[in-house]
Amino acid sequence: MINEEMVRNKLYDKFIKPTHTKKNFIGIEIEIPIINLDKKAVDFEIVHQITQKFQKHYSEFKTDGIDYDGNVFALKNPNNDDIMCYDCSYNNIEFAMGREKDLFAINDRFSDYYAFTKEAFEEHNHTLTGMGINPYRKYNMCTPIPSERYLMLYHHLKSFKDYKNLHMYFHDYPEYGMFSSASQVQLDVCKYDLVKTINIFSKIEPIKALLFSNSVLLDENKNVTCFRDALWEYSTHGVNPHNIGMYDVDFKNLNDFQSYLESLNIYCVMRDGAYINFPSMNLLDYFSHESVRGEVYSNGEYKQIDVKPSINDIEYLRPFKFINLTFRGTVEFRSICTQPISDSMSVAAFHLGLKEKLDDLDELMSGDTSIYQKGFTATELRKLLIQDEIPSFIDKKEICKLCYDVVDLAATGLKERGIGEEVFLNPLYGRVKNHTNPGKNIISVMHNNGSIETIINEYGKLTNNI
């Protein structure tokens, strides 16, 4: 039988031990909606043609994933670890950039890949745009990539109807991974800064909502600037609220953080190259069982199967926190929507600059009274600040100053790196000055009977003011 000490030691080896080596790299993943301008479903045959065209043009990219139908869904450059792939479905393209020391190298390669791919799609009256929810989602086919991982993931999300006695609301969008897009950043973190990094960055999630929200669910929830938050929270990923969203606790030390890891849920493992789904359950509870009844995909259908827990199953522990500690010794920031393409590097620049000024950021947020010290948690504040209108109890001038001070602190951190990366923060200064963000702009255009096609075009432009 696997005991709690064994689980704790394995969690340490998987999550904490990789932070022992001090590094300072940056990794970026940008998911981007694909849009058929004919207002029809994205043509997957065109997607596959463009994948082949991309690989032919960038010959250093090698096939890294083939679906059950024989189509390539992932390409990887072994020289720099850049990946071009499709996320959840062929409606969503992703550029995962290999780790680098500076943002300019990442930006140059991303811009090149994006420009080539967008031009290729536009030859077929499709396009790409920088939005957190696909504005043409209602036209698309909601089918996952036929691969082990994505079939498992969709099966898990569709299983919400099986949770009969759970006092929780589930939304009706189990396919949300096929129409929502994020901009994620991974930064190396050392063991001694880990707890401080998570604690302090958690405090600015409400500010990030104001600066970066860009996920408007058109025709349904038009006054929410970041509906992505609800898509995660009210899905089967949120059966255990510790697996998603924010922490809402200040960790005292690494032991305290490890206890939080033990409180997470697990919902899948692999055996013989196949994923096995089972009802989401606490990690320690899972390891207390002799066997767990799950389902495995085989020959086009799901079959029941019993799985015996193995300590190595911690490999398949997949929380989706706003701030995740990964197996790579990195902190992954996951709460930001895909940005207008010209502003793509602002996300990484923001986090990278603030990581250099953790103590100053802590002092700034600890003394704040514009949003804090009013009886609300950080989670509650974020939920309020993803609304189109700022609540009346918050002074708009005060919160504007707080946003400016946070962005300015990020700029200071980047200036101290001496590379010039602070230029990537310019879009954020504009947003603070104009009291807006990309999601609010979408809502404003729609309220004034504007065209969503205007937004699609504008947010898809790759402009370079550097």
**Cβ(336)–Cβ(182) below 8 Å:** yes
Map out the domains of the chain as residue ranges: 21-145+153-259+319-459
pLDDT of residue 23: 82
**Cβ(181)–Cβ(133) below 8 Å:** yes
Tokens of 40: 């029809």
Dist. CA 130–CA 114, nearest whole Å: 11
Dist. CA 102–CA 97, nearest whole Å: 12
pLDDT of residue 22: 77
21-145+153-259+319-459 is classed CATH 3.30.590.20? yes
Dist. CA 21–CA 190, nearest whole Å: 7
| Phi, psi of 65, rounded to the nearest 5 degrees | -165, 130
Q: Tell me the pLDDT of the chain (466 aa) as tens digits.
A: 799 999 999 999 999 999 988 788 999 999 999 999 999 999 999 999 999 999 999 999 999 999 999 999 999 999 999 999 999 999 999 999 999 999 999 999 999 999 999 999 999 999 999 999 999 999 999 999 999 999 999 999 999 999 988 889 999 999 999 999 999 999 999 999 999 999 999 999 999 999 999 999 998 877 999 999 999 999 999 999 999 999 989 999 999 999 999 999 999 999 999 999 999 999 999 999 999 999 999 888 899 999 999 999 999 999 999 999 999 999 999 999 999 999 999 999 999 999 999 999 999 999 999 999 999 999 999 999 999 999 999 999 999 999 999 999 999 999 999 999 999 999 999 999 999 999 999 999 999 999 999 999 999 999 855 5
Task: Sort strands 244-245 and 320-321 into parallel, antiparallel or unpaired.
Answer: parallel
Going from the C-alpha of 295 to that of each of 151, 177, 397, the distances in angstroms are 12, 21, 54
